[in-house]
Structure 1
Amino acid sequence: MLNSSRSQTPPPQFFQSEERLVLTDSCDDWDVIVGDGPVVATAIHDGHAMRPSLVPHLHISEQERRRDEDPLTGLMTEVGDVRVRVRSSRFQVDLNRPRDKALSTDPADTWGIRFWKGPLPREELEQSLAAHDRFYAMFEELVERVIERHGHVFLLDIHSYNHRRDGAHAEPAALEGNPDIDLGATTLDRARWGAVADRFAEALAEVPAGGRQLDVRENIRYPGGGHFPEWAYSRWGERMCAISVEYKKIYMDEWTAQADIGVVEDLRAGLRHAVAEVRGMLAR
């Protein structure tokens, strides 16, 4: 069994503070764009890249794998002062899961879908877990530096979700449990950030997409939350306003991967509007 604890060696330094925050150590698994401000936007499931050595172990096709990734969510990170877009597929390393589940071959961990032919070689697991460790070390330092400069962080953890799992020609999932935008705020400190979360949700609904008003609700699809924002809250508490923004794939056909760029731009405009609406509330 692999050791689930992290190495005790000193973590690498990914950033340095000058007149502004500067990235000093890059990584092939993700892109980081650093600006000066408290809004950090992440797309940790946007990527599709996978190590060539891992591909032969897949039980599914590339198209099937893409269906359960979050394509184009990286575009939404442009609303952040700091932007983090992960290039690697969530099936190479899932950064929204705890370390021991970051690369799982158990269908019980992947919605009952068998993604892998069988157990993976130890060296493959170790490479993915090392990437998980690097990401969390990088992000921890990043947030600490932003808090040093601004006193708080507004984290937008951006994802998308499927609503047509029964097939390309089947009826979509019922609207009752599948809002156009589901805001995950399970770890939010309501006393500190409740007004921000409420205004953020209202503002998202004020900008139509594809010519119609959007259904924006909170904690519907994933009422238990995700590991990444939960970890962030456990680390920074009231200094961190973490909201997961889950877009239903109304901006694309999840079976063909064909996107409607007009709807993508509408959604991005809505997110830009929502961030602008709450910026003045963050430091209160």
Structure 2
Amino acid sequence: MPGLVAECREWELTLGDGPVIAAAVHDGHGMRAALQPYLAIDTATRRRDEDPLTGVLTSVGDVQLRVRASRFEADLNRPRELAISRDPANTWGIQVWDESLPDVEIERSLAYHDRFYAMVRRLMDAAIDRFGQVLVLDIHSYNHRRDGADAEPADVKGNPEIDLGVTTLDHGRHGRLLERFSDALRSVPLQGRTPDVRNNVRYDGGGHFPEWLYSTYGDAVCAISLEYKKVFMDEWSGQADIGALYDMRDGLRAAVAAARPELSA
């Protein structure tokens, strides 16, 4: 039913009638109470490697999926075996969990990972059955000031304002859609200038979520992972730049509008 909101502690799903699904799987900060005593990082550090405010951008989708649970409870953009880990090598050198984290809590987190993918499978089956092909926007953000609040930001050469991850996209079928999508993103100013939009700059391999979509549904799904540089917020203080965030939303809305005719073609 269009407009239906299905929600649980871990995610919120708003169902509309259309072929564009916008997902922010790293937007959340929630953590179930039983896990909190075993966290080895503070709140500020955890927030810095989450993707706050990306849920705002899901408003461009016919279907909007916003995950409320932190990526550290279980990372939905990683395969099951890496979704929660005690090993800092799997989390950018950050010690997320105390070594005493019980196996039973890890299993509960993995069960949440399983439930999420079961839900997405039902969602995708229904959307593909209705529309034939579906555009999935996998929305993320990334840090570019990791050396500290007062340090120089990362070199722009390797850090576009919008990095489109399209490693699973079938260019034979969806290349024209990607072209229209990218051109429309560039047409809407971000902080008063033309945004730097490039493909596959920061991540030469796609995340697990788009890879799973492609392996499960093939070219019936056009998956685009959007990595927004955190120019819309101060990644150290957490203070948001609402104007920049709205610019990003307007640009993404224009990109979706430009891509729609290619879905129905």
| Superposition TM-score, scaled by structure 2 size | 0.97
The answer on 1:77 being equivalent to 2:58 is yes
Unaligned 5+ runs, structure 1: 1-19
The corresponding residue for 2:207 is: 226
SS in 1 for 2:139: strand
Deviation, 1:24, is 9.0
Q: Deviations over 1:95-131 (max 9, x none)?
A: 0000011111111111111122225201211111110
Residues 1-284 of structure 1 mapped to structure 2, 5 A cutoff:
20=1, 26-284=7-265
Q: Deviations over 1:71-104 (max 9, x none)?
A: 0000000000000000000000100000011111
Query: Percent identity at matched positions?
Result: 60
Would the aligned equivalents of 2:6 and 2:13 in 1 still touch at CA under 8 Å?
no
Q: Deviations over 1:21-44 (max 9, x none)?
A: 686964221000000000000000
SS in 1 for 2:127: helix
Would the aligned equivalents of 1:21 and 1:145 in 2 still touch at CA under 8 Å?
no
Separation in structure 2 between the aligned mates of residue 282 and residue 106 of structure 1, nearest angstrom: 42
SS in 2 for 1:66: helix
Amino acid in structure 2 at the alignment position of 1:53: A
SS in 1 for 2:263: coil
CA 1:24–1:157: 2 relative to 1, 3 Å: closer
SS in 1 for 2:71: coil
SS in 2 for 1:258: coil
Separation in structure 2 between the aligned mates of residue 205 and residue 22 of structure 1, nearest angstrom: 30
* Larger helix share, 1 or 2: 2
SS in 1 for 2:138: strand
SS in 1 for 2:226: strand
RMSD (Å), alpha carbons:
1.3
Q: Deviations over 1:226-273 (max 9, x none)?
A: 000000000111100000011000000000000000110011000000
SS in 2 for 1:253: coil
Would the aligned equivalents of 1:105 and 1:119 in 2 still touch at CA under 8 Å?
no
Would the aligned equivalents of 1:204 and 1:274 in 2 still touch at CA under 8 Å?
yes
Separation in structure 1 between the aligned mates of residue 224 and residue 73 of structure 2, nearest angstrom: 24
Aligned length: 265
CA 1:254–1:25: 2 relative to 1, 3 Å: closer
CA 1:75–1:24: 2 relative to 1, 3 Å: closer
CA 1:250–1:122: 2 relative to 1, 3 Å: same
Unaligned 5+ runs, structure 2: none
Q: Deviations over 1:131-166 (max 9, x none)?
A: 000000000010110111111110000000000001
Separation in structure 2 between the aligned mates of residue 241 and residue 198 of structure 1, nearest angstrom: 13
Amino acid in structure 2 at the alignment position of 1:194: G
Separation in structure 1 between the aligned mates of residue 234 and residue 198 of structure 2, nearest angstrom: 22
CA 1:32–1:24: 2 relative to 1, 3 Å: closer
CA 1:138–1:174: 2 relative to 1, 3 Å: same
